[in-house]
Amino acid sequence: MRLYGVGIRFGGCHEQNGTIALFTRFSHMIYAMSNNDLLVKVENLYRYYDDHCAVQDLSFELRKGEILGFLGPNGAGKSTTMQMLSGNLAPSAGRILIGSVDLLDEPKRAKRATGYLPEQPPLYPDFTVNEYLDYCARLHRVPHSKVPAARALAKERCGLKEVGHRLIGNLSKGYQQRVGIAQAIIHSPAVVILDEPTIGLDPIQIREIRALITELGKEHGVILSTHILPEVQTICSRVQIIHKGRLVFNDTLTGLTQRMQSTSLVLACRLAPEVKFLHALPDVKSVETLDEHRLRITFTTHANLAEAVAAEAVKRGWGLLELTPERKSLEQIFVDLTAADEAVPEEQAA
Amino acid sequence: MMTFTIAGRELKHLFLSPLAWCVLAVIQFIVAWMFLIQVDNFLKFAPSLAGMANAPGVTDAVAAPLFSTASVILLMVVPIMSMRLISEERRSGTLSLLMSAPVSMTEIILGKYLGLLIFLLVMLGLITLMPLSLMVGTHLDYGKLFSGVLGLGLLLGAFAAAGLFMSTLTKQPVVAAISSFGLLLLLWVISWAGNGDDRFSPTFHYLSLLDHYGSLLRGTFNTADVIYYLLFIITFLVFSIRQLDAYRLQH
Q: What is the mean pLDDT of residues A84-99?
A: 90
Q: What is the pLDDT of residues A64-91, one digit of tens each?
A: 888 998 888 777 888 899 999 998 988 9
3-state SS track over chain B? CHHHHHHHHHHHHHHHCHHHHHHHHHHHHHHHHHHHHHHHHHHHHHHHHHHCCCCCCHHHHHHHHHHHHHHHHHHHHHHHHHCCCCHHHHHHCCHHHHHCCCCCHHHHHHHHHHHHHHHHHHHHHHHHHHHHHHHHCCCCCHHHHHHHHHHHHHHHHHHHHHHHHHHHHCCCHHHHHHHHHHHHHHHHHHHHHHCCCCCCHHHHHHHCHHHHHHHHHCCCCCHHHHHHHHHHHHHHHHHHHHHHHHHHHCC
CB pairs < 8 Å spanning A and B: 75
From A131, A139, A183, residue closest to B103, measured CB to CB: A139
Is residue A82 within 8 Å of A59, Cβ to Cβ?
Answer: no
Domain regions of chain B by residue span = 2-250
- Chain A residues touching residue B102 (CB < 8 angstroms): 107-112, 139-141
First to last CA, chain B: 28
pLDDT (0 to 100) of residue A32 = 41
pLDDT (0 to 100) of residue A13 = 39
Q: What is the mean pLDDT of residues B168-195?
A: 88
Q: What is the pLDDT of residues A136-179, one digit of tens each?
A: 999 999 999 999 999 999 998 888 889 999 999 999 888 898 89
Q: Does B6 touch chain A (CB under 8 A)?
A: yes
Does residue B230 or residue A8 have the better pLDDT?
B230
**Pairing label, strands A246-252, A238-243:** antiparallel
Q: Does A24 touch chain B (CB under 8 A)?
A: no
Beta bridge partners of A298: A264, A286
- Chain B residues touching residue A87 (CB < 8 angstroms): 99-100, 248
Interface touch B100/A111, C-beta < 8 Å: yes
Quick one: which of B155, B152, B177 has its CA closest to B166?
A: B177
Give the minimum alpha-carbon distance from B104 to chain A in angstroms, rounded to a whole number.
7
Interface touch B248/A49, C-beta < 8 Å: no
Average pLDDT, chain A: 79
pLDDT (0 to 100) of residue A207 = 86
Residues listed for chain A = 350
Interior angle at CA B150, CA B114 and CA B244, nearest 5: 25
Q: E strands of chain A, at which residues?
A: 38-49, 52-63, 67-71, 93-98, 101-102, 114-117, 191-195, 221-226, 238-243, 246-252, 264-269, 284-289, 294-299, 320-325
d(CA B112, CA B79): 14
User: Is the model's pLDDT at A250 over the cut of 70?
Assistant: yes
Please report which confidence band the pLDDT of residue B216 belongs to, taking 50, 70 and 90 as the band edges: confident
d(CA A227, CA A241): 10
User: Is the model's pLDDT at B124 over the cut of 80?
Assistant: yes
Q: Does A107 touch chain B (CB under 8 A)?
A: yes
Is residue A46 within 8 Å of A57, Cβ to Cβ?
Answer: yes
Q: What is the mean pLDDT of residues A14-38?
A: 46
Q: Render the burial of A321-346: b for 16+ CB within 10 Å, e for the rest.
A: eebeeeebebeebbeebbeebeeeee
d(CA B241, CA B230): 16
Q: Does B241 touch chain A (CB under 8 A)?
A: no
Q: What is the pLDDT of residues A288-320, one digit of tens each?
A: 888 878 888 887 776 667 788 888 888 888 888
Please report which confidence band the pLDDT of residue A350 belongs to, taking 50, 70 and 90 as the band edges: very low
d(CA A85, CA A90): 9
Quick one: which of B182, B202, B181, B199 has its CA closest to B191?
A: B202
Lowest mean pLDDT among A289-298, B1-10, B151-160: A289-298
pLDDT (0 to 100) of residue A228 = 79
Residues listed for chain B = 251
CB within 8 Å of A135: residues ≥ 6 apart: A124, A127, B5, B9
pLDDT (0 to 100) of residue B105 = 92
Give the minimum alpha-carbon distance from A41 to chain B in angstroms, rounded to a whole number.
18
User: Is the model's pLDDT at B140 over the cut of 60?
Assistant: yes
Q: Is A13 helix (H, G, I), strand (E, B) or coil?
A: coil
- Chain A residues touching residue B103 (CB < 8 angstroms): 108, 111, 139
From B96, B102, B251, residue closest to A122, measured CB to CB: B96
Largest alpha-carbon pair distance within chain A? 78
What ipTM was estimated for this complex?
Answer: 0.86
User: Directed axis angle between helix A129-139 and helix A173-185, to 10°?
Assistant: 30
User: Is the model's pLDDT at A2 over the cut of 60?
Assistant: no
**Pairing label, strands A101-102, A191-195:** unpaired
d(CA B153, CA B200): 28
